[in-house]
Amino acid sequence: MNKVKPHGRKNGASRPRPSLGTAEDVKVGDRIVVTIKRIGINGEGVGYYKRKAAFIDGALPEEVVKATVTKVESSFLTAKLVGIEKKSPDRVKPPCPVYESCGGCQLQHMSYPAQLRAKEEIVRESFSRYAKLTELPLRPILGMEDPWGYRNKSQLQVGREGDRVITGLYSPGTHKLVDIAGCAVQHPVINQVTGQVRDILIELNIPIYHERSRQGVVRTIVARVGRQSGEVQVTLITAADRIPQQQELVKRIRVNLPMVTTIAQNINKADSPLIFGEKTVLLWGKERLDEMLGEVRFSLSPRAFFQLNPEQTVKLYDAVSEAAALTGEELVVDAYCGSGTIGLWLAPQAHEVRGVELIPEAVDDARRNARDSGADNARFYVGRAEKLLPEWVRSGIRPDVVVVDPPRTGCERPLLDAVITAQPERLVYVSCNPSTLAKDCKVLLDGGFRLEWIQPVDMFPQTSHVECCALLTRK
C-alpha cells in the first residue's frame, strides 16, 4: 500500500520541498490527506491537494480526511474516503440503514442546519465561478421545520434479491437494486402503499421483470399521494400488455389499501432507462388524482409532472409571486410552463398569463387545471417559447413579466436571446441547478438586466439539490 501523502503547501523557498512532489505525481491508488473546504454541487466534500481540486464523497467542511485517489484529471481528482483525522461538529449518524449504497440522498451524514448553510454556499460558489459575482444579493435559504417524509411520489423498481422480491433504486453506477422499504424522505403513506402492493404481487405470484433476461411483467411501482386529499394513485409499469390475475390484483389492492383511488397500468416494453412508456390504461378508479397548491386545483394523470415537496413548493411560488410583483395589469409569459403550476399560481394577480410548453400532454393538463381553478385569463400553447415570444412581440404584444423554470441544463441560448430582445420589466428565473442559473444570469446581465435578489429554497432536504428563485429587472 502506498504511504499517506500529506496535504502540504509550498514554503517560502524557491522550490517545493522534495517530499511534496508535484501535482503530476498523484496517481490512482495513492493515499492522500485533504482539508475539506466546502460541499460540492453533488454533495461531495471539496478540498485541494497540490493545487488540484479534490472531490471526496462523504467528507464534510472543516474535516481533515484520509482518502484513496480513484481518478486523476488535469485540474481535479476524485478520491474515496477511508478515514477522518479531524471530525466536523456537523457530522451526524444517517438514520437510513442503506444511505451509503442507495444514492438517493447525499447529505444525511450532515446536520440539517449545516445542510442549509452548505446549500447557500453552493449558490455563492456557482455565481462566483460562472457569473464572476462575489457580492451576491442572496437571501437566507428557506428550510423545513421537519425535513423528513416530504416526498409525495415514488418510482421504485421491482426486482429479486435471492428469493426475496424487493422495491428500490439502483445503486449509483451499478445494476444492483437497493431495497429502500421505509425510506425516511418518502411520505409514510407512500412507503405503506408500495410495500403492500409488492406483497400482493408476491402472493399472487405475478412475474417480476428481470432486467438482463428481459422476462417477466412488473417493472416499477409508482405511487403518488395527494397531500390535501390523502388519496393515492398507484401505477404499475409493465413490460407486457396484460397483468396476470389482474382482477384479483385490483381487488386486493382495493381491500388492503382503501386510500388508493386510482389503479393504472403503464406499458413500457422498451429496453430503456425511461420509467414510463407511451400507453397508460386505467384498471380501476379515478383517471386523475386531485391535488391543491394554495387555492389552485390540479388534476394529475399518472404521467403528469407535479412538484415532489408541496410544502416547500408553496414557499418557492410565494417567492415567484413576490418577484413578479403583479398589480392586475400585466401580461405574464411562462416559458417552461409544464402543467401550468407557476402560471396558475400567478393568474389571480395578472391581467393575462400565457404558458408555453413543448409537450402536448402537459399543455392538455395545464388547460384542464386552468378550467378546474377558474383561471379564464390563463392560456397555454404547444411550442417553443423562443419562437412564440418573438412572434408576439412583433405583433405588438410585449410581456411585462417573463417566468422561466427550465430543466437542470438551464435555458437554451435562443430563449435567453428572445427574452433579452423582448425586454420585459421583470424576469423571474426559477432554477433547480445553481450552476446553470449562474451561467444564464451572466448572459442576461450582459444583455441589459440587473440581478435584484436570489431566494434559495430547500426543496429536497438530505440531498445536495437546492432550488432558487431569482429576480432580474431591466436596467
| Catalytic position from the list 432, 441, 468, 469 | 432
**Residue 29 cell numbers, joined:** 491508488
Residue 355's SS3 state is strand
| DSSP secondary structure string for all residues of 113-175 | HHHHHHHHHHHHHHHHHHS--SS--BPPPB--SS-SS-B-EEEEEEEEETTEEEEEEEPTTSS
d(CA 145, CA 125): 26
Q: State residue 147 phi and psi, 5-degree precision.
A: -85, 40
Q: Which residues contact 363 (CB under 8 A, 6 or more apart)?
A: 337, 355, 357, 380, 381, 382
- 329 within 8 A of 401, measured Cβ to Cβ: no
Q: Active site includes 102?
A: no
Q: What is the C-alpha separation between 369 and 305, in angstroms, rounded?
A: 13
Helix 413-422 to helix 385-394 angle (10° resolution) is 20
Nearest Cα to Cα of residue 255 among 292, 220, 219, 284:
284
Determine phi and psi for 92, rounding to 5 degrees: -130, 165
Please, is 45 exposed, middle or buried when counting C-beta atoms within 10 Å of its C-beta (0-12, 13-18, 19+)?
buried
Rg of the chain taking only CA atoms, in angstroms: 25
Of the candidates 442, 444, 395, which has an alpha carbon nearest to the alpha carbon of residue 416?
A: 444
CA distance 83 to 86: 9
The one-letter amino acid code at 304 reads: A
Q: How many other CB atoms are there within 10 angstroms of residue 439's CB atom?
A: 18
Supply angle C-alpha 251, 253, 258, rounded to 5: 105
Cα–Cα nearest to 394, from 371, 419, 422 = 422
| Catalytic residue list | 432
